[in-house]
A and B are shown apart, each in its own frame.
Chain A
Amino acid sequence: NAGVTQTPKFQVLKTGQSMTLQCAQDMNHEYMSWYRQDPGMGLRLIHYSVGAGITDQGEVPNGYNVSRSTTEDFPLRLLSAAPSQTSVYFCASSIRQASSGNTIYFGEGSWLTVV
């Protein structure tokens, strides 16, 4: 049971390049999310999904695309990288439980630098 796996852990991009951050979970969780974390700002929601084939925008979706073709995978695509997208990205998954809400499991993070 690997939990939530994110790749790559570190990436340097040039402005204008595109890339995909991969996220996979093996816990059969229905909810998956992508957050970015910038200094002093906590985590901000980029996109989230409540199940395969269903995605919605979070607080800061511009410049990012997602899809959820399977329960396990939720990739985040940067279409044309900009220096403002330099950040740490976290993928998370959760399942809604009546007694404990939706306990969230986070990946280890992906450090992205856009130069």
Chain B
Amino acid sequence: GIQVEQSPPDLILQEGANSTLRCNFSDSVNNLQWFHQNPWGQLINLFYIPSGTKQNGRLSATTVATERYSLLYISSSQTTDSGVYFCAGVGAADSWGKLQFGAGTQVVVTP
């Protein structure tokens, strides 16, 4: 399977600040996705982004598959953005259901 590395591991933001989270993966990957886990443990799918750029409100994501990285942008952060952000993907040679997660970026947004 693929290796997925996320940086930074922790991030503290003041409300209103912008930030960028990075996800590097070791090999060709399909099905690159970003997830948010809120402080209560709930996991929500944010983006399916195997390549290109997508935006959803204050969040956007870009994947450059040829260079094996993806970025998640948080603009005008709010306290509700706090939690852990995970990226995950499936190796090109793996079954579609075999999703591999990074260790996550813990984000704390302070008022």
Residues of A within 8 A of B (CB): 31, 33, 35, 40-45, 48-50, 56, 58-59, 88, 90, 92, 94, 96, 100-106, 108-109
Contact = CB atoms under 8 A, between A and B. Distances in A.
B101 A43 contact: yes
B73 interface: no
A40 B9 CA distance: 9
A73 to B, nearest CB: 16
Most buried by A among B88, B98, B104: B98
The main secondary structure of chain A at its interface with chain B is strand
A106 B42 contact: yes
Contact of A59 (B42, B43, B100, B104): B100
Given A42-B104, A43-B86, A103 B45 contact: yes
Contacts of A106: 42-44
A101 B48 contact: yes
B95 interface: yes
A32 B103 CA distance: 21
Given A59-B1, A104-B33, A45 B99 contact: yes
Interface in B1-59: 1, 31, 33, 35, 41-45, 48, 50
Contacts of B102: 42
Contacts of B86: 42-43
B101 A44 contact: yes
B111 interface: no
16 contacts: A45-B98, A45-B100, A49-B97, A50-B96, A50-B97, A56-B98, A101-B31, A101-B50, A102-B96, A102-B97, A103-B48, A104-B45, A106-B43, A108-B42, A109-B41, A109-B42
Nearest to A101: B48
Given A45-B100, A108-B42, A50 B95 contact: yes
Contacts of B41: 88, 108-109
A67 to B, nearest CB: 16
